[in-house]
Structure 1
Amino acid sequence: MSFQSCKYLMLRKNLKFISIFLMLFCFLGKAQTEQDLEGISDSLLTNLQKFYSEIYETSEQTLSGIYKIHKNIDTYNVKEQVAIYLVLIDFQIAEGLYDEAIINCHISHNMAKENGFAYETVLSNYYLASAYGQNYEYDKSFELFKSLAQLINDSNYEYLAILSEIEMAWFYEIIGKYRDALDIKLKIVKTKGDFLKKRWDPVYYNQFLDMSNLYNELGIKDSTYYYRDFYKQTIKDYPETSAEHYFLIKNEANISFNERDYSKAIDKYRAFNNWYFARLKDYDSPTIINKSKAHIALGEVDSALNNLNLIKSRPMFLKEQKYISPDFYKLYIDIYKKKGEDDLRKEYEQKYYQALETYNSFKFNTLDNLYDIDKQRIQIENANAANDYKSTLNYLWIALGAIVMCFIGFVLWKQKREKKKFDALMQRTENKTPLKTSLEPCTNTTEIKDEKVEALIHQIKELEEQGFFLKQKTTLHNTAKKLKTNTSYLSTIINNNLDTTFSAFVNDIRIDYIINELKTNKQLRSYSVKAIAEEIGYKSADSFSKYFKQSTGLSPSTFIKNINKKG
């Protein structure tokens, strides 16, 4: 049996509730026929389908009913067993039982693969990737989504490909890449809208509310209201659920918050979270954080503190805190500063800086994974497109002509862009303006007034002038040892006075140094990228090239090529 439960993860982000809709099985593609149902008894189909109807008032009743069937799973044939596992997994993910769902995903995947059930094998992987993502095991989730990318152009898995795209948009959203997330949503509506509408699928109309939220984050007011109203109009054609009503309230709360109507935002956040807790016995961290910000804006410090403490009380907080927004800890700093509790303020300052480093590392790794997945999908699409073009000579010539024109246009555009970046970079180096490394105090952070601090900053500057940061042995530990201080204190000084991390500070020094050296030292330009990297303390050419491009917008080889052209 090839099937996909017709439900949509409306409460994306950290939410664990999947809205319940009317149909159980959605057959995808021309390859699925009545043969897919062979081996599945009518009585089991009826029993499974009832879990997606409205006969159960609570999720506990639903899971209890599924567990009763699962308890006697050995009495069913293999195909039926796989079906039971997949329905169980669906609801376990819906209720936040991720560890149990992950175990059952492995069981169903192995059973389906061993018995040649192709669609169920892929569906198990999709559920597993989703469960890993909701369980904050992002690396494992990315690996599975990379494998799912291989199926992007297979019509049998078109629906799962769409859901996978939505998951990728979610990952972009949680690291603040709202424009990238929005591009995915717009693409889904444009290219897959008709497919989803024919299925009478809520995935379609939920994209409009998502786009309203994303435009709101980007501060584009007209589009925020346009897609919110479009969502309201569209859902009239679909069965109404309480989830839709409360997600609309959450959207309106976010809009009110961005418009600084904090009292209205608080009321709507309260209504949403009361429903959320009643349904899931949990709290939604992003809305609680925004609600706390609104309370602080209104001077309601104790209310803000009580809300933040709700997040810490969540069972999932131990997993979530590694990826939670640093704003969470920043709010504690603001609260304890207003309350005059300096010891707690200092404690949360340390947590804030640690969270900032962890979050930035997570954001960078997430982007790497997302770009890998995007690159893989583009390669697959291009490969399939190339095969299609070969079938008709006319289409082949058209495609080749288009590719050549695009390539020429791309090369010219790239050259122009690189020249512009190079000229700007050379101008900065001629004016001897550092890229990022400045020891001027940052007005955004807590000011540390201490003669020891000034002395330490002076010592750091001396180390910079001595070329200490151009050595491979330069680590936070070794630098602290060199300066006869501890790593925590040194890290805090750099964070407060540079508004950056130690690693970013060192990298900026190295890039500034090598830009000027390459400009004046013709012999150095003949070195390999690896040799240049080792010259300034990098252990690999890849890490040097990555940071050089991140800092300048150009690769080292492109920068050297432009310098040589300039003569």
Structure 2
Amino acid sequence: MVIFPLFIHGQKGPDFSILTDKSFQKLYQNPEDCISYSQSLLISDKNIEHKIVLRNILSQAYAMQGNYVQSLTIYNQKEEEEGVGKNSQLYFVHLFSEYSLADQYQNLGLYNQSKKIISSILQNQDLLKSKDKKVKTTIAKLYQLQSINFGITRNYQEALQNLKISDQYLTGDNKENAILIWENKIFKASYFLRQNKLKEAKKLLNEVINEVKNNGDYPFIMAFAYENLSRYYFQKEDYLTAVKSLETGISQIENLPYNNIKIVFYELFTKNYLALNNDEKYYYYNNLYTNLKVKLDANKKEGIQYIVKLVETYNKKNFEIQKQNKIRQFRNTSIVVLFFVLGIVAYFLYESRRSKDLKKQLAFFEKQKEREQAIQLKDSIEKEQKNTEKESQKVSKEKEDEILQKLQEWELSTNFLSKNMSISILSAQTEVNTKYLSEVINSQKGKNFNAYINELRINHIASLLKNDPAFLNYKVSYLAEYSGFSSHGAFTNVFKSITGMSPNHYIQEIIKNKRS
């Protein structure tokens, strides 16, 4: 996703707005130029608000290239709050930081985490009523991000509603707002396509293409629009026109490092040439797609590991604080008990002075009592620790239901198609630790993690074969790769174990049923 610069009123307000607008436009023209230009601004500007916006633009430029680790590194660089005088400025810095984090999660495919952050921000009614331009622009972008999160789970009504609200916060009186409006139109068109509202989708895409042609050079937006226009023709089974749309779109960015959208073009070329039975073009674009996907998947996996470490560091600090609090409570309790015991001992020692025999008896009694209390205290502490450990190891019914709900939401995405899918990545995407995930999947799904993922993949590809005629023309090797399997043989074996027939047999049965 793309970040938009905000018009910030401060020590260098008007000049900074112009400079940032230029930096922002370069984001859509060439990410490398954007990085060079934005870094030069960042070095010379000391205003913390300016810095956080510039870092955000830099972060997005790296994300567009598929360099997710560098994108996260730029995001994670913290600025000193020195020199930020007004509370309103501090408030905006916090708001924009939360927004940037939600966008980073989305870039890495961690949509649930992104959705939670945005939902929390948008509960602030005072924020939603703000008249500040920079805040309103941020809100518009938040609603756009949330729309994408809903679109991933196929909740298209909510996705379209969020885009509608996003538009309400845009005035269209500057390039920043205009480009955001174009993006919203393209996203609306993509949701219409998925709902088979082809006429409405094509109208919006044509509007964007004509408006961009008349308002400057924005190759990324043009490529984005033509990519979705090709999907329109693909659904109409007009594969030749779909290819022409793809060729027009990729010509806009062919010599630019927009790897995050180039991979989409390569995949769509592959599908169309497969449907056209053009093996030469199919293998050419499939090779481009596979090579770039391996590179981007590795970068994304590294990015997820990076952000998981950030979260683990934060959780570790919280755990240490809780541990220190427990130790402090135990120490305070021990001191109270010790003073109590010492008080009793002192009392009986005073009384024992009047009687030598009584002194011996009391001394013996106190030693026994002190020993018993120490044993009881030790037993009590050990019992409490065992109970705590036992409770922490066992998944409660409420926690189990919560994890099952998260898995159900996650299953609506297609993240399980990734070849790099592992239980640690699933843990990051659902915010559930790996031990609980493994326990719930084994107990409630009746299978281990690998079997669970494989069943999701086979069910998904079986559904596509049944409902999307284009997939019936694909080779089994492509279906295997699309489903996330490491080899043709592994895919065939798992497919047969789940459906009771080979992929080829399954495809022939579908074709036979359609003919009859």
Q: For residues 292-316 of structure 1, what are the alpha-carbon distances to aligned partners after superposition, in whole Å with 9 as ceiling and x for unaligned?
A: 1111111322321122113322346
Residue 228 (structure 1) shift: 4.0
User: Contact 1:19/1:243 (CA < 8 Å) preserved in 2?
Assistant: no
With normalisation by structure 1, the TM-score equals 0.52
Q: For residues 236-265 of structure 1, what are the alpha-carbon distances to aligned partners after superposition, in whole Å with 9 as ceiling and x for unaligned?
A: 899995446544433431331121112321
CA distance in 1, matches of 2:180, 2:40: 33
Q: For residues 336-381 of structure 1, what are the alpha-carbon distances to aligned partners after superposition, in whole Å with 9 as ceiling and x for unaligned?
A: 2343422212322333333443343233223223333444556678
1:500 to 479, 482, 485: 485
User: Contact 2:118/2:146 (CA < 8 Å) preserved in 1?
Assistant: yes
2:93 to 160, 168, 176: 160
Cα 1:129–1:253, aligned 2, differ >3 Å: closer, same or farther? closer
Aligned-CA RMSD value: 5.3
User: Contact 2:170/2:181 (CA < 8 Å) preserved in 1?
Assistant: no
User: Contact 1:253/1:268 (CA < 8 Å) preserved in 2?
Assistant: yes
Q: Which residue number in structure 2 is paired with residue 145 of structure 1?
A: 75
Residue 384 (structure 1) shift: 10
1:261 to 197, 211, 219: 197
2:77 alignment partner, SS class: helix
Cα 1:409–1:276, aligned 2, differ >3 Å: closer, same or farther? farther
Q: For residues 426-456 of structure 1, what are the alpha-carbon distances to aligned partners after superposition, in whole Å with 9 as ceiling and x for unaligned?
A: 8669xx98985999x997687769xxxxxxx
2:287 to 333, 350, 365: 350
Q: For residues 180-230 of structure 1, what are the alpha-carbon distances to aligned partners after superposition, in whole Å with 9 as ceiling and x for unaligned?
A: 332222122125962882645221244234323432332224423443444
1:279 alignment partner, SS class: coil
5+ long unaligned stretches in structure 2: 330-386, 401-435, 466-470, 495-516
2:122 to 176, 179, 189: 189
Residue 270 (structure 1) shift: 2.0
CA distance in 2, matches of 1:498, 1:209: 29
Greater helix fraction, Structure 1 or Structure 2: 2
CA distance in 1, matches of 2:38, 2:168: 37
2:9 alignment partner, SS class: coil
2:308 alignment partner, SS class: helix
Q: Which residue number in structure 1 is paired with residue 249 of structure 2?
A: 311
1:249 to 172, 180, 185: 185
CA distance in 1, matches of 2:479, 2:274: 21
CA distance in 1, matches of 2:200, 2:482: 38
Q: Which residue number in structure 2 is paired with residue 215 of structure 1?
A: 150
Q: For residues 453-480 of structure 1, what are the alpha-carbon distances to aligned partners after superposition, in whole Å with 9 as ceiling and x for unaligned?
A: xxxxxxxxxxxxxxxxxxxxxxxxxxxx
CA distance in 2, matches of 1:425, 1:351: 37
Q: Which residue number in structure 2 is paired with residue 24 of structure 1?
A: 9
Pair 1:369-2:306 in alignment? yes
User: Contact 1:112/1:121 (CA < 8 Å) preserved in 2?
Assistant: yes
Cα 1:195–1:386, aligned 2, differ >3 Å: closer, same or farther? farther
User: Contact 2:62/2:70 (CA < 8 Å) preserved in 1?
Assistant: yes
1:49 to 1, 11, 14: 14
Q: 1:370 is matched by which residue type in structure 2?
A: I
User: Contact 1:90/1:127 (CA < 8 Å) preserved in 2?
Assistant: no
Cα 1:422–1:299, aligned 2, differ >3 Å: closer, same or farther? closer
CA distance in 2, matches of 1:301, 1:494: 19
The within-5 A match list for 1:272-287 is 272-277=208-213, 278-284=215-221, 285-287=223-225
Q: Which residue number in structure 2 is paired with residue 170 of structure 1?
A: 103
1:413 alignment partner, SS class: coil
User: Contact 2:160/2:188 (CA < 8 Å) preserved in 1?
Assistant: no
- Which structure's relative contact order is higher, taking Cα pairs within 8 Å and 6+ residues apart? 2
Residue 279 (structure 1) shift: 3.3
1:148 alignment partner, SS class: coil
User: Contact 1:330/1:348 (CA < 8 Å) preserved in 2?
Assistant: yes
Larger radius of gyration: 2
CA distance in 2, matches of 1:118, 1:428: 49
Pair 1:204-2:139 in alignment? yes
Q: 1:208 is matched by which residue type in structure 2?
A: Y
User: Contact 2:56/2:100 (CA < 8 Å) preserved in 1?
Assistant: no
Pair 1:413-2:351 in alignment? no
CA distance in 1, matches of 2:447, 2:277: 47
Cα 1:274–1:501, aligned 2, differ >3 Å: closer, same or farther? farther
User: Contact 2:48/2:79 (CA < 8 Å) preserved in 1?
Assistant: no
CA distance in 1, matches of 2:479, 2:167: 49
CA distance in 2, matches of 1:24, 1:238: 17
Q: 2:238 is matched by which residue type in structure 1?
A: E
User: Contact 1:256/1:265 (CA < 8 Å) preserved in 2?
Assistant: yes
5+ long unaligned stretches in structure 1: 1-12, 26-36, 38-44, 53-61, 63-87, 394-404, 450-491, 510-567
Number of equivalences = 377
Q: Which residue number in structure 2 is paired with residue 289 of structure 1?
A: 227
Identity across matched positions, percent: 11
